[in-house]
Amino acid sequence: MGEAVSGDERRLTGAALPPPDIVAPEGGRAVRLAIGLGFRKAATAGILADLVVEARARLPAGLAGAPAVLATIAEKDRPALRDAAAALGLPVLVLPKSALAGTEDRITVASTAARACLGIPSVAEASALAAAGPGARLVVARIASGTATCAIACLEEP
């Protein structure tokens, strides 16, 4: 679990999170985008990729082209996630469940399944918020397919 992953992928096992890539969109503010994913074992790479495309289509115009990172918790680090990330050309950020602490007050759609299985209110929204950084806000609230959920968080910096 603590091994390093090469390329654009990063595996995190501790609480200290490096910032995702930062870009300067129109308006001169730096923005961090994190796309959180939660999914069942039955979810395929195609389902995950399609859900990410749908979520990105809902982004405000000024954020639509911003680079992003896919984020989820270690319990969801499966081949379907890696395959979807490769198909989308996005890096993956795998978070320890403890990194999601402190996001509860910003969750907009709680999941009874996530709470029952993992003890957290939302995998997608919490992963997006945690990966984007302290003070991040949801710009696309949780959307769902039959086997997966997706949300996008953003952190703007002066």
> Residue 114 corresponds to which tokens in the numbers above?
């996530």
Q: How many CA atoms lie within 13 A of 84 on its CB side?
A: 29
- Residue extents of the structural domains in the chain: 20-157
% of the chain at pLDDT higher than 70: 75
Q: What is the mean pLDDT of residues 115-122?
A: 68
**Span of 6-20, 108-122, 128-142 with lowest mean pLDDT:** 6-20
Instruction: Inform me whether the pLDDT recorded for 25 exceeds 60.
Output: no
Q: Which CATH architecture has domain 20-157?
A: 2-Layer Sandwich (3.30)
What's the whole-model pTM score?
Answer: 0.78
Of residues 37, 35, 52, the one with CA closest to residue 114: 37
Name the one residue in this structure whose structure tokens are 């308006």.
27
CA distance between the termini of the chain: 35
Q: Where are the alpha helices (DSSP H) in the chain?
A: 45-57, 79-88, 112-118, 123-132
With 0-12 / 13-18 / 19 or more C-beta atoms within 10 angstroms meaning exposed / middle / buried, residue 28 is exposed
Question: How many residues are recorded in the chain?
Answer: 158
Q: Mean pLDDT, the chain, as a whole number?
A: 78
